[in-house]
Structure 1
Amino acid sequence: MSRTGADLALLLLGGFRTLVDDAVDELARRGHHDVRPVHDFAMRAIAAGADNASALGRHLSVTKQSAAKTIGVLQERGYVAVEPDPGDARRKRLIVTELGFEVMRQGEAIFEELRAGWAARIGAEELATLERHLTTLVGARPIRFDTPGGVGRDLT
């Protein structure tokens, strides 16, 4: 059966979607039913230094208002908090809470489990070959981890 370039793109997108959906479902089974991929992107950006709505908006390629809405949700759920900036008492900064870091750690562990499941289905060597080929085709770090939808290329 001959496939088109569009088929390839959809298969790759389908693989991504399958992993992400399965991870979200597993996080829900582990008690974090309120976590979405954008929350992980946002917490990782905050942990990397995006400590206000403007900076988070830039990291996520969204408006400041959209970032502020995401911050509100994350604060309400206990994943991020606001604290005084030690360098400027007039300024507040965002931080990821221990609960937020725990959710990120669980997410990372879940992706490792999902990867192991794929290895069990197609064989560890086949999966390693697939990963090598994808690395050759798209690079070792093709997508910025803090960009929802994976549209931000890593240009560094």
Structure 2
Amino acid sequence: MEAEAEGPDLGVLAGQLMRALQEELFRRLAEEGHPGVRPRHGTVLAFLDRSGLRATELSARSGQHKQIVGSIVDELVALGYVRREPDPADRRAKRVVPTEHGLDEIAKARAILADIERRHRRHLGDERFAAFRETFQEIVRDQRGWGDS
């Protein structure tokens, strides 16, 4: 029989980390001129670059259903963060493209997250932080492939 892990399980820890990161990220984004953006908007904004993506690509990258992505895109259009444009590769398809306001949010979010990572790296030291990231990525890969074995 396996020994029980001490403390919260992996799901609880991952959830706590996500909520704590989001709390800091979105508080700081609000202070930097983006008070309307919410954690759910990260489903779209976290994956966009200047050229944009189709909703189906955003859905695949984020792991969210296309309908949820579409609803989030609608919110972001209303907030002025993205616009829908015809896809040059297929005029029937639409790309979700960030506006200048959206690009500003994306750049600030990435800078804030990099700052958070630097803080944790300083706290843990380079070697421990690198080992943590590598291990965490391995666990994510293994968990994503749970049904493959």
TM-score (norm 2): 0.70
CA separation of 1:110/1:45 partners in 2, compared to 1, >3 Å: closer, same or farther?
closer
Query: How large is the Cα RMSD of the aligned pairs?
Result: 3.2
Structure 1 runs not aligned, ≥5 long: 144-150
Question: Is 1:86 paired with 2:88?
Answer: yes
Q: How does 1:7-156 map to 2 (within 5 A)?
A: 7=8, 9=10, 10-11=12-13, 13-47=15-49, 50-52=53-55, 54-118=56-120, 124=122, 126-139=124-137, 142=140
C-alpha separation in 2, matches of 1:14 and 1:130? 20
Instruction: Quote how far apart the aligned CAs of 1:138 are.
Output: 3.0
8 Å Cα contact 1:40-1:104 kept in structure 2: no
Contact 1:42 1:60 in 2 (8 A): yes
TM-score, length of structure 1 as denominator length? 0.67
Percentage identity across paired residues of the two chains: 23
Which secondary structure state, in structure 1, belongs to the residue aligned with residue 53 of structure 2? coil
Q: Secondary structure at the match of 1:7?
A: coil
Query: In structure 1, what is the Cα distance between the partners aligned to 2:137 and 2:119?
Result: 24
Contact 2:43–2:64, Cα closer than 8 Å, also in 1: no
Q: Runs in 1 of length 4+ with deviation above 6 angstroms? A: none
Unmatched tracts of structure 2, length 5 or more:
none
